[in-house]
Amino acid sequence: MTDRAAPTPSAPTPSDPRLPPRTRRRPLIKLLFGDLVSAALTVLAALAIVMLLPALNWALLDAHWHVAAPGDCRHGGACWAFVAAKSRLILFGLYPPSEQWRAMIVIALIVAMILASLSPRLRGGRLIAIWGGAIVAMLVLMGGGVLGLPPVPTSKWGGLPVTLLLAVLSLGLAFPLAVLLALGRRGRLPLARAISVTIIELVRGLPLVGLLFVAAILLPLLLPPDWTVDKLGRTLAALTIFAAAYLAEVLRGGLQGLDGGQQEAAEALGIPYWKTVWHIILPQAIQNVIPPLTNTAIVMVKNTSLVLIVGVFDMLSAARSAATDPAWPAPSTEAYLFVALIYFVICFGISVYSAHLETGVKSRRHG
């Protein structure tokens, strides 16, 4: 859950004039069977592939894509008909079926916003303002109660929109917190440093499951009795503080990599502290840490699945409850594979984009 994983670095292209000429490729047969150890490894790898063939057979050739009755899935391969039948439950949870178009719009909106943010033309304050507006629109759309939309309580929210909203909101709310924590830890004020270090190290020392317990069980005890924060809100709080601690450490890395002269020059010019931070320090610090930042984003998308443990009905919980339907014969494998595929598409997409960004930064520096 907190694993660091550098996105795959891009290999330099062979035609790059700065590199020495490539040595001639060795023939494939030599690479595969060059000596005894290579041959043994090749045989081992081939064996592994052969052993995976039945799984492929199960997933594609023997699979049931359409069945007349759930019982028809009892024999043979994978039961993709189950996923088709339950896709609404997995994707939208208990959201009222007549209102599911709203959840669908929210998903489309999030995807569109993320795609729009990829373009480097839209950066800085304007992007943040647009995101803020979009988030409010999504929450209104999900919750309803205004503009003639029937209200839907958060206990009925579920599936993919909850997963995406938790990921986007926790990262978005955590970022300003992380900036404060990182600046506090790097700053000159001893008290601010002590507070930042305590928060960061405490949160990073505790597993996210523990934090979710704190949010689900402890938070109602710490707040006034008449404040009622629903489960989704408390979970979001736990995810936010968790993301903030990890983002703060990433940002601290960026701040440490920054030349001290930048801040001194800003001070010499009489630029106020917060303007220095916003216009000079942060843009450069963030650019230094784009790979670990996107990495944290991937980790947080994956971490949203942990809310299952405290009973929030996200995509994974929905899949788990769909798999318990007694009408279908043991379809948990297919349900989890479907969820895994959705997570894979999101996370792999982010890592590919991160690799692309990284080469952009590199070429600008060299060019």
Residues within the interface to another protein (CB under 8 A): 1-6, 26, 28, 31-32, 34, 37-38, 41-42, 45-46, 48-49, 188-192, 195, 202, 204-210, 213-214, 217-218, 220-225, 298, 302-303, 305-306, 308-309, 316, 320, 323, 330, 332-333, 336-337, 339-340, 343-344, 347-348, 351
* Cα four-point dihedral sign 25, 12, 255, 182: negative
Name the β-bridge partners of 160.
Answer: none
* 161 vs 184 by CB, closer to another protein: 184
* 135 vs 312 by CB, closer to another protein: 312
* 38 vs 117 by CB, closer to another protein: 38
* 128 vs 330 by CB, closer to another protein: 330
> Can you tell me whether residue 113 is helix, strand or coil?
helix
Name the β-bridge partners of 12.
Answer: none
What is the closest distance, in whole angstroms, from the C-beta atom of residue 44 to another protein in the complex?
8
H-type alpha helices, 257-331: 260-268, 273-276, 282-288, 290-303, 315-323
Residue 143 and residue 103: Cα distance in Å, rounded?
10
Burial of residue 24, with CB atoms counted within 10 A of its CB: 0-12 exposed, 13-18 middle, 19 or more buried: exposed
Structure tokens at 168: 């986007």
What is the closest distance, in whole angstroms, from the C-beta atom of residue 96 to another protein in the complex?
26
| Residue 34 DSSP class | S
> Can you tell me whether residue 7 is helix, strand or coil?
coil
* 190 vs 261 by CB, closer to another protein: 190
What is the closest distance, in whole angstroms, from the C-beta atom of residue 210 to another protein in the complex?
5
What is the closest distance, in whole angstroms, from the C-beta atom of residue 323 to another protein in the complex?
7
What is the closest distance, in whole angstroms, from the C-beta atom of residue 128 to another protein in the complex?
25
Residue 31 and residue 26: Cα distance in Å, rounded?
7
State the greatest distance between any 2 C-alpha atoms of the chain, in Å, as a whole number.
77
Q: Report how far apart, in Å, the C-alpha atoms of 149 and of each of 153, 157, 172, 260 are.
A: 12, 15, 26, 54
What is the closest distance, in whole angstroms, from the C-beta atom of residue 168 to another protein in the complex?
16
* 127 vs 180 by CB, closer to another protein: 180
Residue 186 and residue 339: Cα distance in Å, rounded?
40
What is the closest distance, in whole angstroms, from the C-beta atom of residue 100 to another protein in the complex?
23
* 77 vs 102 by CB, closer to another protein: 77
